[in-house]
């Protein structure tokens, strides 16, 4: 987790650099569309700080008050990010409204566009890094930060295109219209982010693909048992919790059934680095033929 925390800390530095470049682009041009892009970068910095704190807190080992660990704090961080994104979108809509009421021509558009494009390239590169390692280390906070940066890159492309059109056509109200479109896009990303994070807080199950892998491992490694049933999963940050009942023959000793459980646990942990497995051993009269996981 130390590596993940370093990435989250680096995001703050990258966010501050990009914010400085985009704010300079707005000051140089006076463009409301570039203002909207700069304001989203303010949120980038705030969410990067939230992600860093979440990653640090989620790495704290389980204690008496939190026996299952602190991983869910990452989902809370992602919810906060979603809320901040929505607030930024509303602020941009307000600015766009007043811009439509009183449009102004640009000043020095080319230097401003150059600064904005350079900042967007930095964001795109860092988004790739965060998404790659966030998924590898199963960090919702880093993935959420990467998705926000991706939305920032996409909106920046639209902003630059809009500002270029304003320069070419001289129609200044388009600047505010582009800013409003940016705000609507940010609202959509913010809603999507909050929806995914709330799913994690509500103990959402793993994806069907991961569930199929879990069932395959159990089926392959449970030789000697009769079946496994009542399989349940949930996720909390990088940790996957797996819970199921393993039916064994009535004549099987405790030691033999324990060996099967150890074998299944080892295989599941090899498949998923962060897994917490709970297996309930039951006698054969508890079997649910046809509804459980068959043993190969």
Residue 73 sits in a domain whose CATH number is 1.20.1510.10
* Residue 239 β-bridge partners: 236
pTM, two decimals, is 0.62
Do residues 194 and 146 share a domain? Answer: yes
Cα distance between residue 196 and residue 152, in whole Å:
19
Task: Tell how strand 293-294 and strand 275-283 pair up.
Answer: unpaired
Do residues 213 and 185 share a domain? Answer: no
Do residues 176 and 290 share a domain? Answer: no
Q: Which domain holds residue 227?
A: 208-294
Residue with tokens 């041009």: 29
Q: pLDDT 10s per residue in the chain (296 long)?
A: 577 778 888 989 999 999 999 999 999 998 888 988 888 788 778 778 777 777 777 677 777 887 777 667 767 766 777 777 788 788 888 888 888 888 877 777 888 899 999 999 999 999 999 899 888 877 776 787 788 788 788 878 888 888 888 888 888 888 889 888 888 877 887 777 777 777 667 777 888 988 999 999 999 999 999 999 889 998 776 678 999 999 999 889 999 999 999 999 999 998 887 788 999 999 988 887 665 666 65
Residue 206 contacts residue 233 (beta carbons within 8 Å): yes
CATH of the domain at 241: 3.30.70.1350
Nearest in space to 31 (alpha carbons), one of 223, 220, 158, 163: 163
Do residues 57 and 184 share a domain? Answer: yes
The pair of structure tokens assigned to 211 is: 């569930």
Do residues 166 and 233 share a domain? Answer: no
Cα distance between residue 37 and residue 25, in whole Å:
10
Do residues 214 and 197 share a domain? Answer: no
């Amino acid at each position: 987790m130390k590596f993940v925390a370093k990435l989250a800390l680096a995001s703050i530095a990258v966010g501050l650099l990009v914010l400085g470049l985009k704010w300079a682009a707005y000051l140089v041009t006076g463009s409301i569309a570039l203002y909207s892009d700069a304001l989203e970068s303010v949120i980038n910095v705030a969410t990067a700080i939230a992600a860093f704190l979440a990653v640090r807190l989620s790495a704290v080992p389980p204690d008496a008050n939190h026996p299952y660990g602190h991983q869910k704090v990452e989902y809370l961080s992602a919810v906060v990010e979603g809320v901040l994104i929505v607030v930024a979108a509303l602020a941009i809509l307000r600015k766009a409204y007043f811009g439509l009421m009183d449009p102004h021509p640009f000043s020095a558009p080319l230097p401003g566009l150059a600064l904005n494009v350079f900042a967007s390239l930095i964001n795109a590169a860092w988004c790739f890094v965060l998404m790659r390692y966030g998924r590898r280390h199963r960090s919702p906070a880093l993935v959420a930060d990467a998705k926000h940066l991706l939305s920032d890159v996409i909106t920046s492309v639209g902003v630059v295109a809009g500002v270029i059109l304003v320069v070419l056509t001289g129609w200044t109200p388009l600047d505010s219209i582009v800013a409003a479109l940016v705000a609507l896009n940010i609202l959509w990303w913010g809603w999507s982010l909050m929806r995914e994070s709330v799913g994690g807080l509500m103990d959402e199950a793993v994806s069907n693909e991961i569930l199929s892998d879990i069932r395959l491992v159990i089926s392959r490694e449970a030789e000697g048992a009769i079946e496994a049933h009542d399989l349940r999963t949930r996720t909390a940050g990088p940790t996957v919790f797996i819970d199921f009942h393993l039916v064994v023959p009535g004549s099987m000793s405790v030691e033999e059934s324990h060996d099967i459980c150890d074998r299944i646990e080892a295989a599941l942990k090899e498949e998923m680095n962060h897994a917490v497995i709970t297996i309930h051993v039951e006698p054969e009269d508890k079997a649910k033929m046809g509804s459980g996981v068959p043993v190969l």
